[in-house]
Structure 1
Amino acid sequence: MPFVALPSHRLHYRIDGQHGPWLMFCNSLGTDLHMWDAQASALSGQFRVLRYDRRGHGASGTPPAPYTLTDLGADAIALMDALSIEQTHYCGLSIGGLVAQWLALHHPRRITRVVACATASKIGTGQGWQTRMADVRAHGLQGMREATAERWFGERFRAGNAGQVDAVLDQFVATSVEGYVGCCAALAEADLRVAISRNTVPLLAVSGDDDPVCPPSDLAAIAAAASGMHVSLPGRHLLNIESADALNDVLRRFLQ
């Protein structure tokens, strides 16, 4: 497995495709780069698709918590630098969508187009994330499995795609507690609601029409503030899995 060594940890990454512009994907909280398998398969003929496990997730290293949104954004830039990538499209979901917004604001010359999926400019509340961190420290992630399935996937999708759903949830409960809590700390502090109005990068916000975590109104607000576009697709929080074909078509149209 390929890794990039950073001062406090290493990042695991994967590249699919050999031609076209770069397209980076950033995963959601409690998942790894395989959440983007459908996108990599569909788009690697037109793009050089770069996926990576955010710190504390998947096969990447886990530096001590807490983390900040700046830490997560800096990891993405460090990976680009290590691979000599000057510019890329960037697509992130949930916390990955916050990283996408941060990159567009802080490194607009490096990001050609940005896609923010199932996210917000501020996700949840500081107190809510503090409570989540305490619960996970005390009890781990296994007890959250059922509730996570309901937040991430609609009932019909769960019933018809049990194997796929179980694979995602297996990765969720296998996530490092330290990495999960570290990213919760970043979410507790992250707030781009004012800053996003300064965005200059072409932006697409994509919502799941039944997402209980980041509803369509959150994505519409990002698009309005950032002078971008908003599209809503069927599904809940992990819309890239539940509406994979539809999202792939949206990405092709926006990025080309």
Structure 2
Amino acid sequence: MPELAASSAPTVPGTPRDPLERLVTLGDHATTVLERPASGRAVGPPLVLVHALGLDRRMWRDTVAAIPVDRRVIAYDLRGHGTAGAAPHVRSLEQLARDLDTLLDRLGVDGAHVAGLSLGGAIAQVYALSRPARVSELTLVATVAVPQPAFLERGAAAQAGGMASVLAPTMTRWFTPEALAVNGWAVRYARRQVLGADPDAWAASWRALARVDTLGRLARLRMPTRLVTGALDVSTPPRVMAEIAARVPGGRLTVIDGGPHMLSLERPGELAEAVLA
């Protein structure tokens, strides 16, 4: 598997030399978008992947590789992350949802299957509630739906002590001990992303996520909705995801046996299967 540098992307996909990627302007900032077209006749709507806090579009690398080539797949960097790191700091989940709406406009996508992990899952919820006609399918992975005051502490800790001070607790929340011991590409990539993050942008994202408050509105959703979590996820354990699933009409929960929080990095094949189930 090709190596990733913290400030550059892998050969496939995730580099400015990658023909599948391009810069797209979203109002007050530009971001890199990975867009893999469907090979042959497209099956299903475009799949839009929204990444987790502290990472970027590259966290979906192996998940994208596991998705059948007859699906159009789109992944992008959220403001404050990756190539959009210099964007004005995020103020709210609603702002991130508006960025997603602008992105779909730029790409000419009328309706999409939106899938998000952690912060990405919170954005996906807000977007599905505000723009339901544009979300044909919804997948929420390892995410939350009620305010989380403890998240404010994670942002404040980075501002007070630097990114190195939050590295260990972040990595142990994201990965299993076995994956950390092996120290493969996914772990090395995530570690570099955390250490290279701007503490103020990191804190701004945590503040936005801490205010998520969608649980009481999820009954309004009418699109097919999947929910996915790992059995070993300490951040969003199955009981938390089951509560969210219970609020969504027809919501279906898949628990990946032995899976941690960062499923796209440690269990990408199983996550891809669950997203498209």
Normalised by the size of structure 1, how large is the TM-score? Answer: 0.92
Tell me, yes or no, if the aligned pair for 1:120 and 1:214 is still in contact at 8 Å: yes
Partner of 2:73: 49
Partner of 2:37: 17
For 2:254, the aligned partner's letter is: V
For 1:168, the aligned partner's letter is: A
Larger helix percent = 1
1:91 aligns with 2:115: yes
SS in 2 for 1:59: helix
Partner of 1:34: 58
User: Deviation digits for residues 78-124 of structure 1, max 9, x if unmatched?
Assistant: 00001111111111000100111112111111111110001111263
Tell me, yes or no, if the aligned pair for 1:26 and 1:52 is still in contact at 8 Å: yes
Partner of 1:153: 175
**Cα 1:81–1:44, aligned 2, differ >3 Å: closer, same or farther?**
farther
Tell me, yes or no, if the aligned pair for 1:26 and 1:93 is still in contact at 8 Å: yes
Tell me, yes or no, if the aligned pair for 1:10 and 1:61 is still in contact at 8 Å: no
Tell me, yes or no, if the aligned pair for 1:122 and 1:192 is still in contact at 8 Å: yes
SS in 2 for 1:51: strand
Once superposed, what is the RMSD of the aligned Cα atoms? 1.6
Partner of 1:216: 238
Give the paired residue count.
Answer: 251
Q: CA deviation at 1:65?
A: 3.3
The aligned runs of 1:222-237 (5 Å cut-off) are 222-227=244-249, 228-233=251-256, 234-237=258-261
For 2:173, the aligned partner's letter is: R
Q: Choose the corresponding residue for 1:189, options 204, 211, 221.
A: 211
The aligned runs of 1:64-143 (5 Å cut-off) are 64-122=88-146, 124-125=148-149, 128-143=150-165
- Runs of 5+ in structure 1 lacking a partner? none
Q: Choose the corresponding residue for 1:166, options 188, 205, 226.
A: 188
Normalised by the size of structure 2, how large is the TM-score? Answer: 0.85
In 2, Cα distance between the equivalents of 1:106 and 1:131?
28
Q: Which has the higher contact order (CA 8 A, sep 6+)?
A: 1
User: Deviation digits for residues 20-62 of structure 1, max 9, x if unmatched?
Assistant: 2310001101001110011111215021110001000001143
For 2:59, the aligned partner's letter is: M
